[in-house]
Structure 1
Amino acid sequence: MSLEVLKRGLLATVQDLGRKGYGKYGISSSGAMDSYACSIANWLAGNEGGEALLEITWSGFSIRFLQNTLASITGADLTPESGGISVPMWRPVIFRKGSELTFKRPVSGCRSYVAVLGGIDVPEVMGSRSTYMRAGIGGLKGRALQSGDVLKMNQTAFESLCMRSSVWSVEYPFQTVNWSAAPRYTYGHPHQVVRVTRGREYGDFSSLALERLLQDEYIVKPESDRMGYRLKGPQLPLVTPREYVSEGVAAGTVQVPADGQPIILMADRQTLGGYPKIAQVASVDLPRVAQLPPGGSIRFHEISQSESEGLYFEQTRKMKLLKSMIDYRLREGFHAAAGFEL
C-alpha cells in the first residue's frame, strides 16, 4: 500500500503526536502542530490516534493513492478536491486506486491533516515518526515532502472494511458517509481568544505590560513557523531589564525577547529558553494557535492553573466519548446512517 506526492505545496511533512522524553538531550518533541485534528483524523481513518499522518500547510499540495485507501481529512479547510469534486472533511473517506487528492486554497485555518488506515510507514526515530527538520530526523529522510516521493502505508484491515461497505461499487473517485465528527466551535477562525496562565516571570513585567497583554490584540507575523509564532503588538516591558538563566520550556510558553514582542513556542521549539516567560497557553487552546495564519490575531485571556487543568480533563473526557462514537460508526461500515456532529 502506498501513495505518491504529485505536488509538494508550501510545506508538507509526516507527523504523529511527537517524541517524548528527549528534551533533556536537546531534542524537541516535534509532532503535529494541531494535536486535536491529528488525533481525530487518525480515529476517522480507523487508527488508534498516534499513527503517522500528513501535515499540510496552506495550499498547492496533491497526492495520488496507488491503492484503494481509507483516509480522512481534518484541521484547516484548504479546499480538498478529488476528480473535481469537493471532498468532505472530518469523516472517513475511501479513495479509489488512482484517485488524486488536491488542496486548492485556504478557506479557514492553515494546517490540514490527512490520515490513512494503518498510518504512514516511515522509520521510528526515538519513539516517533515525526519530522524534525531542524535536526534532519524522522518522517521521510528528516525533510519536507517533495514531488515524486512515494510513501508506504500499513493497511492490513482495509479489505474487511470494504466488505461491509454497501456503496463501494458506485463509480466515483471516493466514497464517504453522511456523518461527521466536525467540532462545534469555530475552527480555524483568523481571530482567536486564547486562554493563558501566568508564566514563571509574570511578576517581572511592568503593570503596563500586564495590562497590554490581556487587553490588546496581537497579530501573527509572517515569519512564524513550526518553531514559534512571532506576534506583533504593544511592547511588553520588564520592570527592570535583566539577564535570565536558560531553562526548560514547553509548547505554548509565551516568551518576550528584548524587543518586547511576544513569541509563542510551538511544536519544533528549542528545549531551553533564556527569555522571560510572561504566560503559558492552555494546552486545549494550542490547536487554535496552530491554525492561525499570518495576519491572524490573538487576544489573551487569563485563567487560573486549576481552570486550565479542568479544561484539559474535560476535553480528555469528550475526546474519549468521540472516539467511542467514531469506532461504533466505523464498525457499521460505509452504509447510509444518521448523521452526527460533536
Structure 2
Amino acid sequence: MIEILDCNGHATVQDLGRPGYRHLGVPLSGALDSGMLKIANALVQNSLSAAAIEMRLVGPRLRARIPVLISLAGSIDGVVESTSGDRRPARAWASHRLLAGDTLKMGPVHSGVAYLGIAGGIDVPLVLGSRSTYERAHFGGFEGRRLAAGDRIEIVRAGQPERGEENSRRELRLPEPSLLKDRAIRVLAGPHSEHFTDKARARLTSEEFVVSRQADRMGLRLEGPRLDHDPQLGSDIVSDAVTPGAIQVPGDGQPIVLLADCQTVGGYPVIATVISADLPRLGHAVPGQSLQFVEVDYRQAVVARCCAATELTDRIASIRANHAEFDSEALFAANLIDGVFDAQRAY
C-alpha cells in the first residue's frame, strides 16, 4: 500500500484508456503520453498497459507502507527519506526501491506531464475495461477523482515476492529522451477544412500559437492569429465525431486541440488533426508555450507513426535487456551461487 500525504498538483490513475466505447459517448481517457507510461511500467517490470499515476504541475508526497519498487518517467525528480531521516535523490527515468515507512517527495513537473510507476500495478476497479480516471463523469481510477491527501492506494501484487523475484527487480536508470519541444507539430488537413478561408488555412501552418491558461486533459485552448470561417458556411456544423488530436475552431477563431478526455462529438469545424506520433507532445504542453504546426500527408503520418513505435519498442527492449543482465551481487544475496568452484564436484 502507498499513502498519499499531500497532493498539491494534479495526479490521477491512468492506463492506456478505454477504447471501444466512444459510440456510447465514453471518452478514450488514458495517459496523455502513452509511451512515457509504458516506459514507467517497463522500469518496474510491469505489464506495459498497467495503470500508473499521471502527474501534472507537481508530484505528490507519499509514503510506502510496504517495500515497493517505483519508477519516475518525465521531467520530474524527487527525494526519498527513510524512517531514520536519511535522504537520497530519486531521479527521473529510473526506478527506486522504497522500504516500508520511506517517504517520497516529488518536485514540479517541468514538461507538462510525468508518470509514477509502481511494481505490481495499482489496484483500483476496472471500469469498462480500464483503470483510467475520467474526472468529468466521476468514474474510473481512484473513486473517479484526482488523488488527495489521505488516499491509500493498494498494489495489485502486494504480497511477498517469490524467491529471486525481488532481486530480479533491480533499480535502473536510463538516459533522458528528447521531447523535441522545438519541432513543429505535424497535422493532417481536417474533415472540415473547407469551412475556413484560404487565409485561415495558411495561418494555421505559418504562424505561431500560444497555449492559454485554459488547458487540461480535455484539451488545449490556443491563442494566436484568428482563423476565420468561410462566411457562407459559418462556424457551426451538425455535431460530428471528434477524436483526440482534432483541432476545433469555434466562432472566436481561436483553435482548441482536443486531448485524451475530449468528448466524442462536437459542433465546431475541425480545421486539422494532429498526427498520432505527435499527439503525446501536446500532453506536455504548458500555458505560455508556443506551438507551430506543419501540414503533412497521410503517407508521412503513417511513416511517423511507425518510426515512433519502433523507437519506443527499442527503448523498452533496452530496459528489459538491462533487467535480464547477469547480476552476481543479486545472486549472492539470494544464495543462488556461493562463489566457490569445487573441481571434484564439477567432474
Normalising by the smaller structure, the TM-score range is 0.7 to 0.9
Q: How many residues align?
A: 320
Counterparts of 1:129 and 1:136, CA distance in 2: 12
Q: Report the Cα offset of residue 290 of structure 1.
A: 0.6
**Counterpart contact for 1:117–1:158, Cα < 8 Å:** no
Counterparts of 2:57 and 2:171, CA distance in 1: 24
Counterparts of 1:157 and 1:320, CA distance in 2: 30
Q: Which residue of 1 aligns with 2:218?
A: 227
Counterparts of 1:213 and 1:60, CA distance in 2: 34
2:124 aligned to which of 97, 104, 122: 122
- Structure with bigger gyration radius: 2
In the alignment, residue 198 of structure 1 is paired with which amino acid? Answer: A
The 3 A distance-change label for structure 1 pair 139 and 164 is: closer
**Counterpart contact for 1:73–1:89, Cα < 8 Å:** yes
- Matched position secondary structure for 2:215: coil
Higher relative contact order (CA 8 A, sep 6+): 1
- Matched position secondary structure for 1:17: coil
Counterparts of 1:25 and 1:255, CA distance in 2: 21
1:81 aligned to which of 66, 79, 82: 79
Q: Report the Cα offset of residue 59 of structure 1.
A: 1.4
| 1:133 and 2:126 correspond | no
Q: CA RMSD in A?
A: 2.0
Q: Deviations over 1:4-41 (max 9, x none)?
A: 00112221111101001111111111111111211111
Ranges of 4+ aligned residues in structure 1 off by more than 4 Å: 156-159, 333-336
Q: Which residue of 1 aligns with 2:343?
A: none
Q: Report the Cα offset of residue 162 of structure 1.
A: 2.6
Q: Which residue of 2 aligns with 1:161?
A: 165
- Matched position secondary structure for 1:222: strand
| 1:309 and 2:302 correspond | yes
- Matched position secondary structure for 2:97: strand
Q: Report the Cα offset of residue 60 of structure 1.
A: 5.3
**Counterpart contact for 1:124–1:138, Cα < 8 Å:** yes
Q: Which residue of 1 aligns with 2:147?
A: 145
Q: Which residue of 1 aligns with 2:242?
A: 249
2:267 aligned to which of 274, 278, 281: 274
Query: Gaps (5+ residues) in structure 1?
Result: 166-174, 337-342
**Counterpart contact for 2:190–2:273, Cα < 8 Å:** yes
Q: Which residue of 1 aligns with 2:333?
A: none
- Matched position secondary structure for 1:312: helix
Q: Report the Cα offset of residue 81 of structure 1.
A: 2.0
Q: Which residue of 2 aligns with 1:64?
A: 63
Q: Which residue of 2 aligns with 1:171?
A: none
1:326 aligned to which of 304, 309, 319: 319
Q: Which residue of 2 aligns with 1:110?
A: 112
Q: Report the Cα offset of residue 181 of structure 1.
A: 5.2
Q: Which residue of 1 aligns with 2:171?
A: 176
Q: Comparing 82-91 with 116-125, which one deviates more in the overlay?
A: 82-91
Counterparts of 1:307 and 1:331, CA distance in 2: 36
Query: Gaps (5+ residues) in structure 2?
Result: 82-86, 330-347
Counterparts of 2:67 and 2:328, CA distance in 1: 18
In the alignment, residue 99 of structure 1 is paired with which amino acid? Answer: D
Q: Which residue of 1 aligns with 2:292?
A: 299
- Matched position secondary structure for 1:110: coil
Counterparts of 1:283 and 1:103, CA distance in 2: 30
The 3 A distance-change label for structure 1 pair 71 and 333 is: farther
**Counterpart contact for 2:77–2:92, Cα < 8 Å:** no
Q: Which residue of 2 aligns with 1:196?
A: 187
- Matched position secondary structure for 1:211: helix
Counterparts of 2:176 and 2:328, CA distance in 1: 19
Counterparts of 2:301 and 2:43, CA distance in 1: 27
Q: Which residue of 2 aligns with 1:41?
A: 40
Counterparts of 1:254 and 1:129, CA distance in 2: 27
Counterparts of 2:133 and 2:59, CA distance in 1: 20
**Counterpart contact for 1:194–1:281, Cα < 8 Å:** yes
Q: Deviations over 1:102-146 (max 9, x none)?
A: 22234x302110011121000000000000011111011111111
The 3 A distance-change label for structure 1 pair 333 and 15 is: farther
The 3 A distance-change label for structure 1 pair 79 and 318 is: closer
**Counterpart contact for 2:245–2:273, Cα < 8 Å:** yes
Counterparts of 2:213 and 2:152, CA distance in 1: 31
Q: Comparing 137-146 with 203-212, which one deviates more in the overlay?
A: 203-212
Counterparts of 1:73 and 1:325, CA distance in 2: 17
In the alignment, residue 265 of structure 2 is paired with which amino acid? Answer: L
Q: Which residue of 1 aligns with 2:342?
A: none
**Counterpart contact for 1:11–1:144, Cα < 8 Å:** yes
- Matched position secondary structure for 2:278: helix
